[in-house]
Structure 1
Amino acid sequence: MIAITGATGHLGQLTIAALLDRGTPSQDLVALVRDPARAAALSAQGVQVRQADYTQPQTLDAALRGIDRLLLVSSNDLGDRLGQHRNVVEAARRAGVNLLAYTSLLRADTSHLGLAADHRGTEALIRESGLPFVFLRNSWYLENYNVPQALAHGALAGSAGEGRVSAASRADYAAAAAAVLSEPGHVNAIYELGGDDAFTLSELAAEIAAQSGRPVHYQDMPPAQYAAMLRGVGLPGPVADMLADSDAGLARGDLYTDRRDLSRLIARPTTTLSEAVRAALA
């Protein structure tokens, strides 16, 4: 039995779809969700749905009963991500899970990104648990960039300078997760995952302009100014600060990798910048 946490989220849904595409029987898949009512589409495919909430440890033991392999999709709660992950890891240990795959951050052990601290802590919790693991250290999602918004404003703002980001699509990262969950040979492996062809935000703006036929430029600004701009358009302060810090890290190379672990795991090239922009404009 393979269980996916956050199974109604973007990455969780795509991972289940990738597992089904690989031939994993639907009856061998368990979707772990906070609200089972939102998982009707998964139930209709024959996937078992179980209620599981990172913040309610009492739900996790029953949810993980009989699970052999588990994908822990990292929480998006910037306030207590590590505490929530601890609840899942401890429940997985009690359940005797044979493989825990975790969606971590690119080079989490050495990254200077503010986001890295919780991922480092979670990796440490998993190691201390004694559970066999796989660390899927993801770079940025291509979907993080709001292409229609950049087109509407004629500008893409950020603090990344000329740093290169090894972004890939959510579907690429989901396919990698499906591979390690359904194939042997990944126990205690650490994968640094990113797109095959890194790009700068200036190149992203140029690609949007080329495909749309309308002018779009990259507007670089200091991180504090960028964070203030994001707060000004309505983003919560912690989210704005996280995005500005991540762009500063991008400028330093914290979101760049040339290892090609991702394309090797999924046995195909990763989604290109051109493909991602075309899909976003469509």
Structure 2
Amino acid sequence: MYGVTGATGELGSLVVSQLINLGVQPSSIIGLARNRSKAAHLEKQGITVRIGDYDDQASLRKAFTGVDRLLLISGSEVGKRAAQHQNVIEAAQAAGTKTIAYTSISRADTSNNPLAPEHKATEELLRHSGLTSVILRNNWYAENYTGDIRAARDSGTIAAAAGDGKVASASKSDYAEAAAKVLVSESYDGMTLELAGTPWNYEQLASAAGKALGKDIRYERISIEERKQRLVAAGMPEAGAAFYAQLDESIAAGTLDISSSDLEKVLERPPLSLEEQVKKLL
């Protein structure tokens, strides 16, 4: 049996669909959800939906019963994820799960990206768990730029404090396909995969957005402080604005600039180009 955590989320739902595309019977897939009402689309496909919460290890142990290979999609609550992921890993151990694939971040063990520490901690938990693991170091989701690109339709700019930093993003659909292929094949067991697209900078992002929107879009370079001020002015709490500005700063420092063919090898085709990624966002 295959298990997918966060199965009602965008990435999780895509993984479930990809598993079915790969020939996995829906009855062999268990989707973990916190809210059954949000899982109706999965149940209509014949997926077994089980309720489990990353903060409730008992619910996870019950949900993972019979799961042999599990995809742990990292939680969304920054600051709580290491503890939540520990609950998932310990519950999987207790349930008899043999393999966990985990969605991490590029170079989690050495990166200064503010998101990296919890991913590094989770990777270490997996290494010491006694379970077989596959680390899927997803670089960056193209979907993270949906708001910026749509706003550029009116503003004509994409503003960031990322300097000349590069990002090797890929679409969630490509990451989901890779995760599904890893889940159904033991050939990746024990591996750490750096999953990334072709690196691009923000000038190239603006150009790709302009082509997709049919108008001139330019990259507006702003300071870290101005980035924070603009986010606060748009209604974001100061702590959140400071965190997002820190992400920009880490991109400028090169934390997401990585060249790797792992994603292409798993997909057995090139991942979507930047231009194709941007078109999917509109």
Deviation of the 1:213 alpha carbon: 2.8
The residue aligned with 1:94 is 94
Partner residue, 1:198: 199
Q: How does 1:163-182 map to 2 (within 5 A)?
A: 163-182=165-184
SS for the counterpart of 1:185 is: helix
Structure 2: gaps of 5 or more residues: none
Residue 12 of structure 2 aligns with which residue? Answer: 12
Report 1:1-282 matches (<5 A): 1-145=1-145, 146=147, 147-195=149-197, 197-281=198-282
Mean Cα displacement is larger for which, 223-232 or 143-152? 223-232
One-letter amino acid of the counterpart of residue 34, structure 1: R
- SS of 2:186 mapped into structure 1: coil
**Deviating 4+ runs (over 3 angstroms):** 236-239
Tell me how far 1:204 sits from its aligned partner: 0.9
- In the alignment, is the contact (CA less than 8 A) between 2:31 and 2:49 conserved in 1? yes
CA positional deviation for 1:87: 0.7
- Aligned amino acid, residue 89 of structure 1: I
Distance 1:236 1:19, change over 3 A: farther
For residues 9 and 190 of structure 2, the distance between their equivalents in structure 1, rounded to whole angstroms, comes to 26
Structure 1, unaligned runs of 5 or more: none
Cα deviation for residue 211 of structure 1 reads: 3.1
User: Matched residues, percent identical?
Assistant: 40
- Offset at residue 253 of structure 1 (A): 1.6
Instruction: Report the TM-score when normalising by structure 1.
Output: 0.96
C-alpha contact (below 8 Å) 2:58/2:91 kept by paired residues: no
The answer to whether the 8 Å contact 2:2/2:29 transfers is: yes
Q: Distance in 1 between matches of 2:192 and 2:6?
A: 21
Aligned 8 A contact 1:12 1:73 in 2: yes
How far off its partner does 1:176 sit? 0.9
Q: Does structure 2 retain, via aligned residues, the 8 Å contact 1:115–1:242?
A: no
**Matched residue of 2:30: which SS?**
strand
What is the deviation of 1:136? 0.3
Q: What amino acid is aligned across from residue 173 of structure 1 in structure 2?
A: Y
Letter in 2 for 1:155: T
Matches of 1:260 and 1:126, distance apart in 2: 24
Name the TM-score, length of structure 2 as normaliser: 0.96
C-alpha separation in 1, matches of 2:66 and 2:227: 47
Whether contact under 8 Å (1:98, 1:132) holds in the other structure is: yes
Supply the distance in 1 between the matched residues of 2:67 and 2:182 (Cα, whole angstroms). Answer: 15
Cα RMSD over matched residues? 1.2
Deviation sequence 1:223-264 (CA, Å, 0-9, x none) = 232122212212233432332222222122211221110111
In 2, the alpha carbon distance for the partners of 1:121 and 1:33 equals: 24
